[in-house]
């Protein structure tokens, strides 16, 4: 599909509600002014590193004031606070047992940290070019405060990445030529070094943020590149002891027969109310894992879905797709995954670093692609995707929507 095509038949039903599950508009702050004029209903905007945490907070605060509406669906942006694996080397793990409890981070601590968590071990020149790391305890404290300021905020973008390498230090020529409109801190086209963050350190940073999401019962947006098995293992470690009981086929048949025999009875109504109450109570518990997980721009194989979607998993797992990632680099694999997913676990995203018309175009493009793959009527598909986003963000406590 040609992205430049702006006229489609039938007309795209923006009025139903279109929700971008993952994007980064604060990487181009000049584009934030375009958000109120966008056709998309809500942008779920991610933070990734030290440079954008406060920007996401400020944008969400400002746009909430401008909307002046308590309706959740009136939100133009939904903020997410988290630390991306590409920047996990900038975090020093001071909370895992057996780690040194460093009250202050001096130059020797900095060298020791980078030597321990990078592979191959970096030379002194490269280490000197890196900033002083931030204690993980400080990251968690600051993230908690931001999340508490926004009761619906998510944790993200977090995750694991086995493919990325740290960029080389800026050369003077690169620094002089950099685009001043871009928020600092990202790669921005620099050459890559041979250095990677060891998986054990990435996992420690990821797990700590998942536990925080569990404590506050917030959904998460997860990045995974060449690491789907490792991500599942982290989830399973946190889920252990909290698995949902999976009824056997015989039990399901017996319950079905019993329900038919007592349909409409006061006893059945009472049991249903009790079950509903128990589910609501569980949702509010402080648990070591998030209630809902979005695997963003999912690039894994369809076969792995069974592990993410196993009925015993106490977290509900969703999968979001973007035209810029899934239909550029993983097209055949993504089509197979989208066909294999349940209707209610599919989300859309732009994953763009700039808001405005381009983001709207990407959302329309990926929505049409998914509707075609799944055989959905366009209006049916837009409604399904909108309902899925609301359920991912709010769980069973769905806000009222006049557009649905």
pLDDT digits (tens, 9 = 90+) for 319-358: 999 998 988 766 889 999 999 999 999 999 999 999 999 9
**CA-to-CA dists, residue 345 to 17, 31, 175, 317, 324, angstroms:** 17, 30, 43, 7, 20
Task: Please list the ranges in the chain whose pLDDT falls under 70.
Answer: 1-10, 68-74, 98-103, 251-253, 255-284, 329-330, 398-404
**Model pTM?**
0.88
Q: Please state which CATH number belongs to domain 20-94+107-242+287-394.
A: 3.20.20.140
**Domains of the chain by residue range:** 20-94+107-242+287-394
Q: How many CB atoms lie within 10 A of CB 402?
A: 8
In sequence order, the β-bridge partners of residue 221 are 294
pLDDT of 88-125, one tens digit each?
999 999 998 765 555 577 888 999 999 999 999 999 99
147 vs 200: CA distance, rounded Å: 26
The DSSP output letter for 133 is P
383 vs 404: CA distance, rounded Å: 7
209-218 per-residue burial string, b: 16 or more CB within 10 A, e: under 16 = bbbbbbbbbb
**Cα 110 to the chain's mean position, in Å?**
30
Note whether 352 and 324 are within 8 A (CB): yes
Closest alpha carbon to 374 in 341, 349, 339, 342: 339
């Amino acid at each position: 599909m040609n992205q430049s095509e702006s006229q489609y038949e039938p007309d795209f039903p923006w009025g139903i509600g279109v929700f971008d599950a993952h994007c980064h508009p604060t990487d181009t702050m000049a584009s934030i002014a375009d958000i109120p004029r966008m056709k998309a209903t809500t942008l779920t905007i991610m933070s990734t590193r030290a440079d954008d945490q406060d920007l996401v907070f400020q944008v969400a605060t400002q746009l909430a004031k401008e909307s002046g509406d308590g309706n959740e669906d009136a939100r133009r942006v939904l903020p997410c606070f988290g630390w991306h694996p590409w920047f996990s080397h900038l975090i020093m793990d001071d909370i895992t047992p057996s780690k040194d409890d460093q009250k202050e981070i001096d130059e020797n601590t900095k060298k020791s940290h980078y030597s321990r968590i990078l592979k191959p071990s970096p030379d002194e020149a490269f280490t000197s070019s890196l900033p002083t790391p931030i204690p993980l305890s400080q990251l968690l404290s600051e993230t908690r405060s931001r999340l508490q300021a926004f009761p619906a905020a998510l944790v993200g973008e977090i995750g694991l990445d086995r493919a990325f390498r740290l960029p080389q230090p800026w050369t003077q020529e690169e620094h002089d030529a950099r685009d001043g409109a871009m928020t600092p801190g990202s790669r921005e086209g620099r050459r890559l070094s041979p250095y990677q963050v060891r998986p054990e350190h990435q996992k420690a940073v990821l797990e700590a943020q998942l536990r925080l999401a569990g404590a506050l019962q917030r959904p998460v947006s997860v990045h995974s590149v060449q690491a789907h098995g490792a991500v599942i293992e982290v989830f399973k470690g946190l889920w252990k002891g909290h698995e949902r009981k999976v009824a056997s086929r015989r039990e399901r048949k017996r319950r079905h027969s019993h329900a038919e025999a007592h349909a409409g009875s006061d006893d059945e109504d009472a049991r249903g109310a009790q079950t509903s109450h128990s589910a609501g109570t569980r949702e509010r518990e402080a648990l070591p894992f998030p209630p809902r997980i979005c695997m963003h721009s999912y690039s894994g194989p369809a076969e792995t879905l069974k592990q993410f979607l196993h009925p015993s998993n106490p977290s509900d797992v969703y999968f979001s797709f973007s035209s810029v990632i899934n239909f550029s680099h993983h097209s055949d694999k993504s089509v197979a995954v989208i066909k294999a997913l349940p209707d209610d676990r599919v989300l859309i995203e732009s994953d763009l670093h700039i808001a405005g018309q381009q983001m709207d175009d990407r959302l329309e493009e990926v929505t049409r692609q998914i509707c075609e793959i799944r055989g959905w009527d366009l209006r049916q598909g837009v409604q399904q995707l909108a309902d899925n986003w609301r359920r991912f963000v709010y769980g069973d406590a769905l806000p009222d929507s006049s557009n649905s």
